[in-house]
Amino acid sequence: MREEFEPGHKAVYLKNPDYVPRNEPPDCASGGKVVKLDRVEWLVVPEPSTAAAALGGGEVDWWENPSPDLARVLAANPDITVEDTDPLGSMGLLRFNQLLPPFDNVKMRQAVLAVFDQEDFLTALAGAPKDWKRCASFFTCGTPMASAAGAAALTGKRDFDGAKRLIAEAGYKGEKIVVLDAVDLLTNHIHALVTTELFNKLGLNVELATSDWGTVVTRRASKKPIAEGGWSVFGTDFEGAEMLNPWLNPPLPANGEKAWFGWPKDDKIEALRNEWLQASDSEARQEIASKIQERAFETVPYVPTGQYFPKTAYRKNVKGVIIGPALFMWNVEKS
């Protein structure tokens, strides 16, 4: 409802009485989209503890994505259900801006890879090991295109001395490195904090650019130099369903300024992605996907930070929640 919309705070949706759903059970984004609620209020609550208190007190019915620590607290409440949002999980990544120094130099990206430990990111993002797993693949672990091809670059012993040699070979002279940090988006915020600590250990001149997610989204689109509001690194994640293969994976394309934020350019990856698309069977595609991954670990368009399983939390009087790659509002009812 336009008259009830409050930017940054509330959006209200009313049931369309003229919509006729398909006469079949819901199946994630397919099937019958039966709306059982006349009205849904979508509230933005930036402070996690406030959101947890509102859910615990019955002021709201559903918290889309609670933080790991508060999810554990909520799970102890007999009136609240806490469960995984998606069996494929989310795939985290650390993205470099390859248009600007110092990460326009592949040796700088390889240096970061040499000291990377996914556990640092996953523990901070998801907490207990049961809620995450190491995934040294550019494709969602547990799915057909995932493999260990080239993964030794990420899974081997951390080598700070080797990384520092690569940094020296790259000619790094203390240029400022800006890490984008949105305090209101857990995934980005955790990536930013852990990355900054890691860069400090490497002796890099790092600046944590703290803001909100809206500002990060705007700034990451900038191709300007650092001094004019540019950036160097940010962390994020994609749903596992978005990274199943070389054609779907949003940050994998390496077609330069037409690529996703960070703008990597590598003709070999692009040629292999096209070859994968034209392959005639799954076995051939798996082989090509392995070649793409080997090349990606050489050029480092981004660093995979692992696979984790975000939670959702709702009161037990809410029924019909569909678990899948996204949270769907149809089929949900409140008793």
Computed from CA positions of residues 198, 200, 202, 206, in that sequence, does the dihedral angle turn out positive or negative? Answer: positive
User: What is the per-residue pLDDT for 284?
Assistant: 97
Q: State pLDDT tens for residues 267-314.
A: 999 999 999 999 999 999 999 999 999 999 999 999 999 999 989 999
Given a cut of 90, whether residue 69 has pLDDT beyond it is no
DSSP 203-266: T--EEEEEE-HHHHHHHHT--S-GGGT--SEEEEEEEGGGSSSTTT-TT---BGGGSSTT--B-
Q: Which domains does the chain have, with CATH numbers?
A: 2-85+310-334 (3.40.190.10), 90-308 (3.10.105.10)
Q: Identify which has the larger pLDDT, 163 or 72.
A: 163
Question: What are 156's two structure tokens?
Answer: 């081997």
User: What is the per-residue pLDDT for 191?
Assistant: 97
**Which amino acid would we find at residue 127?**
G
The structure tokens 């091809």 sit at 149
Residue 12: alpha-carbon gap to chain centroid: 27
Q: Identify which has the larger pLDDT, 327 or 201.
A: 201
**Mean pLDDT in the chain?**
95
Mean pLDDT on 16-31:
93
User: What is the per-residue pLDDT for 288?
Assistant: 98
User: What is the per-residue pLDDT for 303?
Assistant: 98
User: What is the per-residue pLDDT for 327?
Assistant: 83
With the CA atoms of 187, 188, 189 and 195 taken in that order, what torsion angle do they form, in degrees rounded to the nearest 10? Answer: 110
pTM of structure: 0.89
Spatial contact of 242 and 236, defined as CB atoms under 8 Å apart: no
Question: Nearest CA to 264 among 314, 298, 241?
Answer: 298
Q: State the Cα–Cα distance between residues 262 and 288, nearest whole angstrom.
A: 24
Given a cut of 90, whether residue 8 has pLDDT beyond it is no
Question: Nearest CA to 302 among 111, 137, 150, 95?
Answer: 95
